[in-house]
Amino acid sequence: MRHKLTLTVLLAAGSAIVLASYLNYGKTEWSGLTGVSHDGNGNLFLHVNTCENSTRSVDVVAGREDLAPEEQNPVIGSFTLDEPASGSLAIHVQDPSPWSVEHELALPEDPSRFFIVSAQPEDTGGPPFIKPQKHFLTAAVTFDRLMAAPAGAVVSGGSGLSFHSPEEFDAKCPSR
């Protein structure tokens, strides 16, 4: 009788794990967001709101224009910190300290071409079959569209761009 009870408990626990794995497979949890702004004088700022997460890496890549499906977006700018930081972060591209420049930002020559700002979360979640993978929302914008935004407005989002005051961006988290 005891052996049968143990076997039943093990089967139930195994079924629960399989069910949880199935429900989490391929799930993404948005745990932060990125944006970009300008000050009206040609100075760019990259923004990250880590929400409850942290980061030490912000990348800018070129858009998908003229790329084959198997090609990766080329990195056109990269900034890192020695230690992870959390909260609302801004990188002044022309003077990024305390961020280190790993790859000097070189925006596309054509101002109508997209560039994408992304940050890598320190807590990336777990294996997709156990816990959702955590990512920060990216900001994809063209230089033309960015310069059309008011100075100081943080531009975020992809195809549907959002414009936020710095205070609104600092308070916004995708999971809330």
- Quote the pTM value: 0.80
pLDDT value of residue 129: 59
How far, in Å, are 54, 73, 85, 118, 135 from residue 38 at the CA level?
24, 23, 22, 17, 25
Q: Which run of H or of E encompasses 17?
A: helix 2-24
Read off the tokens for 170: 């600092």
In 3D space, the residue among 37, 33, 49 whose CA is nearest the CA of residue 86 turns out to be 49
pLDDT given at position 123: 74
Q: In this predicted structure, what is the pLDDT of residue 125?
A: 67
d(C-alpha 124, C-alpha 50), whole Å: 12
Query: Which pLDDT belongs to residue 139?
Result: 95
Sign of CA dihedral 75, 175, 133, 88: positive
Burial 44-58 (b: 16+ CB within 10 A, else e): bbbbbbbbebbbbbb
Q: Which domains does the chain have, with CATH numbers?
A: 28-171 (2.60.40)
pLDDT values of the chain reduced to their tens digit, one per residue, 176 residues: 555 544 444 333 333 343 333 443 457 777 899 999 999 998 999 999 999 899 999 999 999 898 899 999 999 999 999 999 999 999 999 999 999 999 999 999 999 999 999 999 987 666 655 668 888 999 999 999 999 999 999 999 866 678 899 999 999 887 55
